[in-house]
Structure 1
Amino acid sequence: MPTHPWRKSSYCQEGEACVHISTDPGSPALVRIADAAPPRSVLTVGAKAFGGLLDMLKSSGGR
């Protein structure tokens, strides 16, 4: 299984208790979401769904 670079959320607190995301240049329509890097478990969603999640979080103030 190929590895992809993981990026830590800009809203992350200290330590590793935060969200990490990864995209594959070969499959830009997919976003991988994990709670640690390297990940123990990975949720893969479409880029459009991930964008919708971000829009909802921004509009609700992250609550």
Structure 2
Amino acid sequence: MSAHDWRKSSYSSEGNACLYLSAPDNTTIRLRESDEPETILTTTPTALSALIRSAKAGRLDHLGTA
């Protein structure tokens, strides 16, 4: 996969810890972080949308506590 297939999130600032997305087709979304670009998470648009909705609704807030 070439570098031009990846788009940096508009919420990522310059420097480290940037989130990159790639959608090679209508059924696949790939995510990676700039700190570990060889580690790629692959998901579907439906699953990613559900994750984002859950995070926005606060249903995942308990995961950040020890």
Fold shared per TM-score above 0.5: yes
Corresponding residue for residue 46 of structure 1: 44
- Report which of the two structures shows the higher radius of gyration computed on alpha carbons: 2
Deviations for 1:35-63, whole angstroms, at most 9, x for unmatched residues? 029x2210100110111122233344xx6
Using structure 2 for the length normalisation, give the TM-score: 0.66
Aligned equivalents of 1:34, 1:16: Cα separation in 2: 12
Instruction: Name the Cα RMSD after superposition.
Output: 2.6
| Structure (1 or 2) with the greater helix fraction | 2
| Structure (1 or 2) with the greater strand fraction | 2
Q: Which has the higher contact order (CA 8 A, sep 6+)?
A: 1
Corresponding residue for residue 64 of structure 2: none
How many equivalent pairs are there? 59
Using structure 1 for the length normalisation, give the TM-score: 0.68
